[in-house]
Structure 1
Amino acid sequence: MKRLNSKSGCAVEVTLSVMGGTWKPVILFHLLPGKKRFSELSRTIGGITQRMLTLQLRELEDAGIVLRTVHAEVPPRVDYELTELGHSLQPVLIAMRNWGVQYARRHDAAGGRHDDACAAAMPSDAADSKQKVA
Structure 2
Amino acid sequence: MYERKIPEMLDCGLSVAVKVVGGKWKAWIMDCIRRGIKRPSALQRELAEVNPRIVSMQLKELEDLGIIRKEIYAEIPARVEYSFTPTGESLLPVLDVLEKWGTDNREEVLKNTLELSEN
Taking structure 1 as the reference length, the TM-score comes to 0.69
Q: Which has the larger radius of gyration?
A: 2
SS of structure 1 residue aligned to 2:69: strand
- Aligned-pair identity in percent equals 36
Deviation at 1:17, TM superposition (A): 1.6
For 1:81, which of 69, 80, 83 is the aligned residue? 83
Over the residues paired in the alignment, what is the CA RMSD in angstroms?
2.3
Equivalences, count: 106
For 2:27, which of 25, 28, 37 is the aligned residue? 25
Aligned to 1:53: 55
Deviation at 1:105, TM superposition (A): 3.9
Aligned to 2:97: 95
Compare relative contact order (CA 8 Å, sep 6+) and give the higher one, 1 or 2.
Answer: 1
SS of structure 2 residue aligned to 1:88: helix
Q: How does 1:9-20 map to 2 (within 5 A)?
A: 9-20=11-22
- Asked if the contact 1:67–1:80 (Cα under 8 Å) also holds between the matched residues in 2, the reply is yes
Q: Where in structure 2 are there 5+ consecutive unaligned residues?
A: 112-119
Aligned to 2:114: none
Taking structure 2 as the reference length, the TM-score comes to 0.77
Instruction: Supply the distance in 2 between the matched residues of 1:82 and 1:33 (Cα, whole angstroms).
Output: 12
